[in-house]
């Protein structure tokens, strides 16, 4: 969920985790609840949700394939590999500005720690 995926809106291009896209969808939903459904807000919401669902499905597929591959090795080694992967991913996303999200006020590029500021 924290690995960056492309976001297509036509107007801007972005590279952000699915969780971030879901957050943007949630903001659109709040706007609709508070201010009504006028304009393209429902379309934006649908666009965010559709892309989030597609990328979640893709990651699910990747995870299933990885699990199948790891099933051939011992559980102990699997646990180590998964933990190492998660730790490496966390260090990488936190230390490198992997994400490109023009939707932030604070900057175009961000690492994991600044992403949801």
Partner 1 sequence: MTARARAALAFALLLAAPRPGAAAPPAFERTEERAPCADYAPLRKVHFGDLHVHTAFSYDASALGVRNTPRDAYRFARGEMLGMQPYDDLGNPLRRVQLRRPLDFAAVTDHAELLGEVRLCGTPGAAYGSFMCTLNRRWPLLAYLIVNSAMLNVANPTRFSFCGPDGALCRAAALGPWAETQQAAEEAYDRTAACRFTSFVAYEWSGNPFGNMTHRNVVFRNHVVQERPSSYIDHRTGAALWERLYAECLDRANGCDVITIPHNSNLSGGLLFPIEDEAGNPIDAGRARRSAGIERLIEIVQHKGTSECRVGGPFAEDELCGFEQLPFARMDQYPFESWWTEPPARVYTREILGEGLAQGARLGVNPFKLGIIGSTDTHLGTAGLADEDLFPGHGAGGDTTRSEIPFVPDRLFSNPGGLAAVWAEENSRDALFAAMRRRETYGTSGPRLTVRFFGGWSYPDDLCAGGDVAAAGYAGGVPMGGDLPPGPSGDAPRLVVQATADPGDGARPPIPLGRVQIVKIWLEEGGPREQVFDVAGAPMTDAGVDPATCELRGSGPPTLCAVWRDPAFDPAAAALYYARVLEVPTCRWSNHTCVAHGVSCATPGDVPDALAYCCHPGIPKTIQERAWTSPVWYTPAAAAGTVDAAGGRVMVSGHDG
The rounded distance, in Å, linking the Cα atoms of 52 and 40 is 18
CA angle at 70 for the pair 64 and 74, rounded to the nearest 5°? 145
Contact between 10 and partner 1 by CB under 8 A: the answer reads yes
Cα distance from N-terminal residue to C-terminal residue, the chain:
17
Q: Is 96 within 8 Å of 111 (Cβ atoms)?
A: yes
One residue of 66, 89, 109, 111 binding partner 1 per CB under 8 A:
109
Cα distance between residue 97 and residue 94, in whole Å: 8
Q: With binding defined as CB under 8 A, does residue 90 bind partner 1? A: no
Q: Based on CB atoms, which residue is closest to partner 1, 15 or 59?
A: 15
Q: According to CB under 8 A, which one of 1, 6, 12, 84 is a site residue for partner 1?
A: 12
Q: Is 26 in the site for partner 1 (CB under 8 A)?
A: no
What part of residues 32-61 is at the interface with partner 1 (CB under 8 A)? 34-36, 38-41, 43-44
Does residue number 72 form part of the binding site for partner 1 (CB under 8 A)? no
Instruction: Return the sign of the alpha-carbon dihedral for residues 108, 96, 65, 80.
Output: negative
Enter the tokens of residue 34: 């508070």
29 near partner 1 (CB under 8 A): no
Q: Please report, as ranges, the residues that interact with partner 1 according to CB under 8 A.
A: 9-12, 24, 27-28, 30-31, 34-36, 38-41, 43-44, 102-109
């Amino acid at each position: 969920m924290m690995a960056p995926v492309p976001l297509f809106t036509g107007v801007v291009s972005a590279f952000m985790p699915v969780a971030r896209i879901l957050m943007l969808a949630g903001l659109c939903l709040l706007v609709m609840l508070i201010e009504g459904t006028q304009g393209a807000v429902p379309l934006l919401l649908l666009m965010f949700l559709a892309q989030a669902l597609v990328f979640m499905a893709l990651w699910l597929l990747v995870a299933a394939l990885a699990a199948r591959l790891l099933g051939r090795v011992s559980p102990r080694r699997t646990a180590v590999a998964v933990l190492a992967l998660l730790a490496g991913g966390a260090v990488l996303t936190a230390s490198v500005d992997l994400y490109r999200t023009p939707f932030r006020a604070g900057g175009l590029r961000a690492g994991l720690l600044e992403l949801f500021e």
